[in-house]
Structure 1
Amino acid sequence: MESLYLLVPMSIVLVFFIGVLFWWSTRSGQFDDLEGPAHRILMDDDNLPPPPDSQPPSKPEA
């Protein structure tokens, strides 16, 4: 019975701490986009044109 005097307050503090951590994670945007990074890995970027910096210079027409 004496162990309950220690375990009940410890469990209440633990639940409060977990609640604060969950509240912080939702407020900081941790759960905003759960599927975006998984889809981004599968996207194929090979069909995109190269950026303008990497294209060779064009020959001047005569």
Structure 2
Amino acid sequence: MGEIINLRQARKQKARIEKERQAGENRVLFGRSKAERERDRLTSEKTENFVAGHRREKPDDPGKR
């Protein structure tokens, strides 16, 4: 004979597990400290300035045309 389960409780348990999984993903994506965000911002700015400084031609102004 199979195990008898309460479907309402099973649904709630499944929802709790899914909610915890989503929370874990959010902690990875958005759970960075201010110092980490600042470091990443400075790194991207430094990279952009390096690339912009080595361009042969300046990008066209969109309003000039």
Note whether the superposition's TM-score is higher than 0.5: no
Give TM-score, length-normalised by structure 1.
0.44
Give TM-score, length-normalised by structure 2.
0.43
Q: Which has the higher helix share?
A: 2
| Structure with larger RCO (C-alpha < 8 A, sep 6+) | 1
Q: Whose radius of gyration is greater, 1 or 2?
A: 1
